Amino acid sequence: MTALFEQGEHVLVGPGDDAAVLRVRTGHVVVSTDLLVEGAHFRRDWAEALDVGHRAAAQNLSDINAMGGRAHSLTIGLAAPGDLPVSWALDFARGFAAECALVGASVVGGDLARSDQVTVAVTVMGACVQAPVLRSGASPGEVVALVGRQGWAAGGLAVLGRGFRSPRVLVEAYRRPEPPYEAGAVAAQAGATSMIDVSDGLLADAGHLAADSGVAIDLRAGAFEIAEPLQAVGAALNVDPVQLVLGGGEDHSLLATFPDAGSVPEGWRVVGEVRDGGDQAGVVTVDGAAYDGPRGWTHF
């Protein structure tokens, strides 16, 4: 299986030894770890192994993107039942490798184990040329901006949960997200003051950013693009498609704050503003009022 993973020039020792050895250049090293557990994060009857591989890599690569960096190396642990078809594991590895190739990252090691359900553990390493963009740098008066698809994966999940497979574009967005991999470094260079990967849900992750920065955030519902497939799902399921955008995660779009609208890079959309926190630090409102709809995924 290791033959599926091409190695970059920064890899001095790759898979096969007790540990990988990497060449570290100038800049900041950034590291993140994530888990995918069958039944909680994916279902094998809803997504092919190739898609699960893409998803597992994407959610980790996006974490480095959200720091304003670029991923270069990953390790992966796969635990699975003894009756898992070898073809499933190989397809998973192919999908994982293909997603890593989009950013030029190398899989440098990993481990296999037996378990009752498929569990994937990934550690990703990357580098930031400039200082990493944290969640804690937002200040009152700044603008909030978004880049990437938002609400599409939530729409696909809603469709699958009702036993349907259409609109196919939303189902595919859930199965295989398309993070804006180039946008994180661009935002950092443009002066982003804080940034986060939208994985749990837009309102939930905006809340993490607001809490860490000690500010409040107000989002404007009318600022979001509601694509035609989302409108179709909303009509079919009798759900306001704005709920899918505000509460949806797993598209791995990026949410960031900038000093002003003039500093927002091309391709980003201004969707709100940062307000003084005070006793409202960590609070996220929509159009100036509390939002009582879905806010995103709760881990525990």
91 is in an annotated binding site: no
Q: Is 297 annotated as a binding residue?
A: yes
Q: Is 33 annotated as a binding residue?
A: yes
How far apart are the C-alpha atoms of 56 and 62, rounded to whole Å?
A: 10
Calpha distance 298→199 (Å, rounded):
11
* Residue 276 labelled as part of a binding site: no
Q: Which helix (H) or strand (E) holds 156?
A: helix 152-161
| Residue 41 marked as a ligand binder | yes
- Is 260 marked as a binding-site residue? no
Confirm whether residue 88 is marked as ligand binding. Answer: no
Given CA atoms 63, 149, 194, 215 in this order, what sign does their dihedral have? Answer: negative
Flag whether 83 is marked binding. no
Q: Does the annotation place 165 within a ligand binding site?
A: no
Copy the structure tokens of residue 62.
């996006």
The torsion angle over the Cα atoms of residues 89, 93, 95 and 96, rounded to 10 degrees, is 130
The reply to whether 166 sits in an annotated binding site is no
Instruction: Establish how many alpha carbons lie within 13 A of residue 126's alpha carbon, considering only the half-sphere containing its beta carbon.
Output: 27
Contact status, residue 177 vs residue 197, Cβ threshold 8 Å: no
182 known member of a binding site? no
Binding site for Mg(2+), residues? 18, 32-34, 63, 111, 197, 200
Binding site for substrate, residues? 41, 250, 297
Binding site, residues? 18, 32-34, 41, 63, 110-111, 135, 197, 199-200, 250, 297
Binding site for ATP, residues? 110-111, 135, 199
